Structure 1
Amino acid sequence: MTTPFPVLRLPYLVLMPILEQMEFMERITLSVLSKRARMFVKLLKMKCKHINLRLEYNTVKMNVCFDNDEELSVDMYTDRLKVNLKHGKDHISWWPGSLPPMDYVLPIMDVTHCKSIKKLIFPKVYEYDPAYDTTIPLLTKLPKVDEVIVEDFTSYIFSPDSPLRNVLRIILPVSSAVTISDHVRKPKYLREIFKGNFDAVNVQLLGDNDWRFPLNDLRKTNAKTLKLDSVAFKVEDLNLYFKLWMKKKCNPRLEYLSVRQEGNVNKNLLLKGLNAVPVPIETKRTFRISGNVEQLGWGERIVVEFDITRADRRQATIRIGTHGTVCFYVWPESTNDTTNLVPNQFSFMRRFSFSSTFYNSFIERFK
């Protein structure tokens, strides 16, 4: 029979060297036992690069990435009240008893000095999925989410019976970006998201290739960066949108727009009436874009590039790719700023207004 040793009652100068000698998994396991234990483990300054959360059926998967490329995987099972930790070849499992497994997310964020979730991923929407109800207490405590990704996005999530309606109502106000992929059945349900003050909105339509993104919806978008992957558009509509930008009658926050169509783009029709100035392809110029933006798809390259200028001297560049991609870059407002940077690979910076009418209308929809 072994006698428990009260390690946390040791003097600070004795306790800290002991914690420093512990294995990584031992530190994490100790940190979730109590607030006092977490306070001491936090002093070890185990900083992580980022944390991703993935909500699958009855499971919350947490992936913690560190600067040295090491990863900690935490699987929390909401139906079995079980937690699995895996770090390299080390693996620990335990049953926390009455403590909900999701309560381990915030302590781990705390001891790894992580202030936000980089990606919160919903792989699939299950009808009447009870797992969403069990994760709501966790989601209400998340301070910030850099990007919400809904991989299976249908009009069902906006119906009164959707298991995601309460989740999105909680998450969207603390999110900087939204990625919506897979079959969007009714685009009208996405318009409220397009109007939100997000840093970035990425829409990937993989279903109906005959669907066209309406000019009116494009005009009302409010994101700083907007990507419409695999979305066919009318060249005439995109030309009108650029003319509205010239007249300052569309999204004033826009920094980057990327759209695609099947086949080659009619350059003359796209640039009609814009007084576009051609730029030699060999000209080396880069642009400052907030957020994680991929410029072109696999195997695609820029064919032609043009500059357009508004009456207030604000400039923008239109680039046309080989596979029907049109990229629109808005230059910094200051005419003296010549240090435009290429779209970077850093996380989205949050610039969100809680007073947005979008969120008010979004919440009213589900009351």
Structure 2
Amino acid sequence: MTTPFPFLRLPRLALIPVLQNMELIEVIAFSLISKRAFNLSKCFYKVSPGSIELLVGPYAIETRIDDLTMFFYGNVPEWVEILHHDKLMRWINAGLSTKQWIQRILAVTKCPSLDKVILNEKPKYDVLSVLDGVSKIFNLHIKPKCCNALAKRAVEVLSPVTSSITLFRVPLSNQEEFLRFWMGNVECLCIRYDDLSRFQFNLNDLLASNAVKLELRKVPMSLRDLNRFFSCWLHRTSNHRLEHLSVQSLKNINEDVLLKGLNATRFTEQQAIHFQSIRVVCHPEFTRGFEVRRIDGKLAAITFYTTFGTTYINFDVWS
């Protein structure tokens, strides 16, 4: 008969190197042994901020951390599936709900923030309650199949702790709700497949945005309206936080209309190379670019690119 090794009776100094060399799946399993094991597991393992992703589907929450993926089923709390190094396994009767599992992972990894939360479809459980206690979400993606009710609640509940929101369609009912969300403090907002026409979106709304980075993939703006927007930026009468804007052009670019009164200078070859090397927001190769200078000396670049027959105008503050 084999006598169990009294691991938890070892001195703390002896436990440290063992725990530090465990893989994450081993640390999580160890944390389930007892309350003392859970407390120890929180002391010696740490992942970098923004290492955890949550994908929410109709039946499961998929949690990804490096090479470890865990599947939690809200309607079957008795077990969890684990994919580790391409090997699939199942833990049964761990005694944790889906919410407790997520909290356990965040505690063990000492990472109270999530890199990405993707809402694909409406789940058969309250996913937002699972996310209680998450201090930061770097990226929230709300996909087209996510029902309006959940999408709207997610925007309302998670916006205060989210840096970047990508909406494939805006799940709000009227202009008042839209403007309350639009004028909030989301750092980065990307709207993919919604032209915002039902909210009578116009230049005044664009000027009222408080976002640092703003991408409107299906919102067509006239060249004259964009010219007025750039002019307001030059005179510091628009969103002072703005660092990046990308919008769709209604027609082929007429530089005389777009750049009228902006004192824009065309990029030299060296400026184009420099801009490509320092830009933060990734987009396809621009075809041409111009530099404009604000009254306080800050520089911005206006660039254009065309993809799949659609022309986009990009505005980037770069100095």
TM above 0.5, one fold? Answer: yes
**Unpaired stretches in structure 1, ≥5 consecutive residues:** 66-70, 333-367
| Equivalent residue, structure 2, for 1:143 | 135
More strand by share: 2
1:104/1:216 CA distance change after superposition, 3 Å: same
Q: Is the 8 A contact 1:175 1:198 kept in 2?
A: yes
**Unpaired stretches in structure 2, ≥5 consecutive residues:** none
The TM-score with structure 2 as length reference comes to 0.83
1:288/1:281 CA distance change after superposition, 3 Å: closer
| Equivalent residue, structure 2, for 1:236 | 224
Q: 2:274 aligns with which of 285, 305, 323?
A: 285
Name the CA distance, whole Å, in 2 between partners of 1:138 and 1:34: 23
**Which range is displaced more, 237-246 or 41-50?**
41-50
Name the CA distance, whole Å, in 1 between partners of 2:195 and 2:243: 28
| Equivalent residue, structure 1, for 2:37 | 37
| Equivalent residue, structure 2, for 1:303 | 287
Alignment pair present for 1:330 and 2:317: yes
Alignment pair present for 1:91 and 2:85: no
**Which range is displaced more, 221-230 or 103-112?**
103-112
Name the CA distance, whole Å, in 2 between partners of 1:30 and 1:99: 14
Name the CA distance, whole Å, in 2 between partners of 1:313 and 1:114: 40
Q: 1:1-367 residue pairs with structure 2 within 5 A?
A: 7-16=7-16, 19=19, 24-48=24-48, 50-65=51-66, 71-81=67-77, 82-96=79-93, 98-124=95-121, 126=122, 130-132=124-126, 135-152=127-144, 157=148, 162-182=149-169, 188=175, 189-205=177-193, 213-261=201-249, 263-283=251-271, 284-286=273-275, 293-296=281-284, 301-323=285-307, 324-332=311-319
Name the CA distance, whole Å, in 2 between partners of 1:167 and 1:322: 33
Query: Aligned letter for 2:217?
Result: D
Name the CA distance, whole Å, in 2 between partners of 1:7 and 1:99: 24
Q: Is the 8 A contact 2:118 2:143 kept in 1?
A: yes
Name the CA distance, whole Å, in 2 between partners of 1:59 and 1:242: 45
Give the C-alpha shift of residue 190 in structure 1.
3.6
Q: Secondary structure at the match of 1:295?
A: coil
1:63/1:21 CA distance change after superposition, 3 Å: closer
User: Aligned Cα RMSD in Å?
Assistant: 3.2
Name the CA distance, whole Å, in 2 between partners of 1:261 and 1:144: 34
Q: Higher relative CO (CA 8 A, sep ≥ 6), structure 1 or 2?
A: 1
Give the C-alpha shift of residue 106 in structure 1.
2.4
1:14/1:97 CA distance change after superposition, 3 Å: closer
Q: Secondary structure at the match of 2:287?
A: strand
Name the CA distance, whole Å, in 1 between partners of 2:243 and 2:62: 34
Query: Aligned letter for 2:71?
Result: D
Query: Aligned letter for 1:100?
Result: S
Name the CA distance, whole Å, in 1 between partners of 2:21 and 2:318: 52
1:141/1:211 CA distance change after superposition, 3 Å: closer
Give the C-alpha shift of residue 23 in structure 1.
5.8
Q: Is the 8 A contact 1:153 1:184 kept in 2?
A: no
